[in-house]
Amino acid sequence: GRVAIGIPEKSHVGGGGIRGQMARILIIDDEHDLRAMLRALLQEEHHEVLEAENGRTGLHEARSELPDLILCDINMPEFNGFDVAQSLQEEPRTSTIPLVMMTGLASLPNMRRGMTLGAADFLPKPFTPEELLKAVETQLNKRRVLHENAGQSLSELRSHLSLVLPHELIAP
């Protein structure tokens, strides 16, 4: 199930990822010890951590919580990481969430398959805490920049509409 430990909800900043700003990160992995280690590491960086012990539960969490980033194992029973990636891409609400796949199966064909299904990055197991944090920071920064650019584009569109629209209403 979902675990959100010790971080007040009000401090969540959508599209976080700069130091000092928290992001909501979902870990999907069937290995309890790895989830615990990742949770501790990410909470130390002031992120809110959600957890799922399998792909189906993780997909449900992604749909209901809309995290800023998902860390997902590939090799899980029944509903694996590729299934999660494909399902996330099929829904507009979840298709833009960065997905970092963690795997002991870091072959080129598996990486290509994951990228085709929308994975933003791969972390071959075993990985160091520094490698994990760098991958997380990189993806959260990309997400933040995309959100900023989208906001700027929306502001520009509103500005142009306010200039054009009154004229069009007066003289169609």
- What's the pLDDT tens digit per position in 46-69? 999 999 999 999 999 999 999 999
Q: Is 73 helix (H, G, I), strand (E, B) or coil?
A: strand
Query: Does pLDDT of 117 surpass 60?
Result: yes
Contact 92, 62 (CB under 8 A): no
Q: Beta-carbon neighbour count of residue 153 at 10 Å?
A: 10
H-helix or E-strand containing 24? strand 24-28
Task: Tell me whether residue 127 is exposed, middle or buried, using C-beta atoms within 10 angstroms of its C-beta: 0 to 12, 13 to 18, 19 or more.
Answer: middle
Residue with the bigger pLDDT between 130 and 19: it is: 130
Report pTM: 0.77
Alpha carbons 101 and 119: distance in angstroms, whole number: 7
Query: Does pLDDT of 20 surpass 50?
Result: no
As beta bridge partners, residue 99 has 70
Position 126 scores a pLDDT of 92
Query: Does pLDDT of 123 surpass 60?
Result: yes
Contact 68, 17 (CB under 8 A): yes
* Mean pLDDT score of the chain: 84
* pLDDT tier, 88 (very low <50, low <70, confident <90, very high otherwise): very high
H-helix or E-strand containing 100? strand 99-103
| Axis crossing angle, helix 108-116 with helix 81-89, rounded to the nearest 10 | 20
Task: Tell me whether residue 43 is exposed, middle or buried, using C-beta atoms within 10 angstroms of its C-beta: 0 to 12, 13 to 18, 19 or more.
Answer: middle
Q: Identity (one letter) of the amino acid at 97? A: I
Average pLDDT for residues 36-53, to the nearest whole number? 97
Query: Does pLDDT of 140 surpass 50?
Result: yes
Alpha carbons 80 and 96: distance in angstroms, whole number: 19
Task: Write out the two tokens for 13.
Answer: 């900043």
Alpha carbons 26 and 67: distance in angstroms, whole number: 6
